[in-house]
Copies of this chain bind each other. A is one copy, B any other.
């Protein structure tokens, strides 16, 4: 029984999309609207309209608005880990200290641009990670495998090559790398806290974080 079985012949003639495409259109539409207005400020009716479908189809696919939020966050978070900013991590080519600092800088600039383009994404992603422990576990496992472990590998290789001091384990350094980045991005884009009591400044802030991590590496 087709997903479109409930459509009138008239609607079917207008060329409604098949089910999987509709699901993707709904996720894309929800993501755009959540980013613009936040989850609470977005009605399922608007999401459906923007995806050129009906609320009925939305609920058929996702059960509830919360179900749609989960699907959106799951999609966004896994796509995030596949983005260009992470690609260098997965290349098994030794970094120099300088090349690593440059990659770190580019990585942060990319993450800030992504967060600015969709200021609600971090907030919604974090909220879902906190709310839905099963999602947190899946996300954590994927993150360890695709992001954290490769970074540990690079830092360990740099340490073996004598480019980083032996004082701390590569795991601890990788943990510090993510804490510094996460602490900044969460403070700025999710919590909206401004510890400096002044405007955020991309270049100055990125420079400070890159320098801090370099100092951490000894």
Contacts and interface: CB of A to CB of B under 8 A. Distances in A.
B179 A183 contact: yes
Interface centre among A148, A168, A173, A191 (most CB of B within 10 A): A191
A212 B208 contact: no
A215 B211 CA distance: 12
Q: Decide if the interface of chain A is mainly helix, strand, loop or mixed.
A: helix
B180 A196 contact: no
A96 interface: no
Interface in A118-139: 123, 126-127, 129-131, 133, 136-137, 139
Contacts of A127: 127, 130-131
A176 interface: yes
Contacts of A166: none
A218 interface: yes
A184 B171 CA distance: 13
A197 B182 CA distance: 19
A131 B182 CA distance: 18
10 contacts: A129-B191, A130-B191, A133-B192, A139-B193, A140-B191, A144-B197, A175-B183, A182-B186, A212-B216, A216-B216
